[in-house]
Amino acid sequence: MSVVASIGISVFEMSFVELMLTESVKESQSAFYAADTGMECVMYWDNLNFKPETAPMFSTSTTKNIKCNNQDITVGDNGWINDQDQFELLFFDDINNNGVQDPPDEKTTSCADITLTIKPDGSKKTESLGRSRYGEASCATSYPGRAERGIEANF
């Protein structure tokens, strides 16, 4: 009897550990995708409006309105402190499968903090930090059990 109980406990423990690892991988993937989406958004808008004969899309002397993940964002509205601007993207469970956030049905599942830096030579650096398990807290707030993944691009 004790052998059967011991085997049962061992199988349960292995299953529990596997479930925890699976959840960790899911959170890591969610954080990476959030960071990647933030990075792609900045690069998309920068390339979409690139014309050598006109002013660049992003400039420390102007503000620009862009749209990422169905969210309207004004880049540069923070005053380009130290030639940097930051903005945040939020990602939601699409319970209604309609591609838009429908509160209160949907909760925020991940977010990304994006920092765009314009260097004196005109080149740009974008840092995107994706976070999973956003919950009800701010993207910048520590939230137990979430994963963080970052991407940096220089262009």
Structure tokens at 38: 């933030």
Going by C-alpha positions, the residue among 90, 86, 85 that lies closest to residue 70 is 90
Question: Which residues are CB-neighbours of 91 under 8 A, at least 6 positions away?
Answer: 30, 34, 37, 69, 108, 109, 110, 111, 112, 134
pLDDT the model gives residue 29: 85
The model's pTM is 0.72
Rounded to whole angstroms, how far apart are CA atoms 73 and 41? 11
Residue pair 60/138 in contact (Cβ under 8 Å)? The answer is: no
Q: Does position 27 have pLDDT exceeding 70, yes or no?
A: yes
pLDDT the model gives residue 9: 78
Q: 76-118: per-residue pLDDT in tens?
A: 776 677 788 888 888 765 555 555 555 544 556 788 888 888 8
Q: What average pLDDT does range 51-68 have in this prediction?
A: 73
Range with top average pLDDT, 34-43, 48-57, 80-89, 133-142: 34-43
Cα–Cα distances in Å, from 25 out to 29, 50, 52, 117? 6, 37, 43, 31
Q: What average pLDDT does range 28-47 have in this prediction?
A: 87
Structure tokens at 102: 């429908």
